[in-house]
Amino acid sequence: MPGAEGTDKNKEKEVAEKASRLAGLKSHVLSNPVRLGIMVYLLSRGIVSFTSLQKVLDLTPGNLDSHVKTLEKAGYVIVRKVISGRPKTAIVLTDRGAREAERYLRELRETLDVLEGEKFNP
């Protein structure tokens, strides 16, 4: 069937394109799974305390701090000192952060969608 063969060729091209776009994410701030994890958590809550984020992600304070600083520098989050009883550090999602995280996750989803219906099925 020449038609089916054409479809295979298209599929192959599409997979190559997705692989290429994936590889192109290599210098993206969110290509680090810890930072993506932080953003995923923030997308559903908007704000989170440093200590509870540390617990959820099972990270040392130093490690989490370094990732939060990277996200802050990119403008994806704002770090705020909250003083109500014991002083706490809160991490707040920015509009830009929400937009970029959504874009990144959409990219991943599109890649997975292309792969569906391949012999491989995630």
Task: Examine residue 94 and tell whether it contacts a copy of itself (CB under 8 A).
Answer: no
Task: Examine residue 16 and tell whether it contacts a copy of itself (CB under 8 A).
Answer: yes
**Nearest in space to 22 (alpha carbons), one of 70, 30, 99:** 30
**Nearest in space to 56 (alpha carbons), one of 72, 34, 76:** 34
Task: Return the residue of 36, 74, 79, 90 that touches a copy of itself, per CB under 8 A.
Answer: 36
**Nearest in space to 11 (alpha carbons), one of 26, 3, 25:** 3
Interface with a copy of itself (CB under 8 A): 11-12, 15-16, 18-26, 28, 31-34, 36-38, 40-41, 43-45, 56-59, 98, 102, 105-106, 108-109, 111-112, 115, 118-120, 122
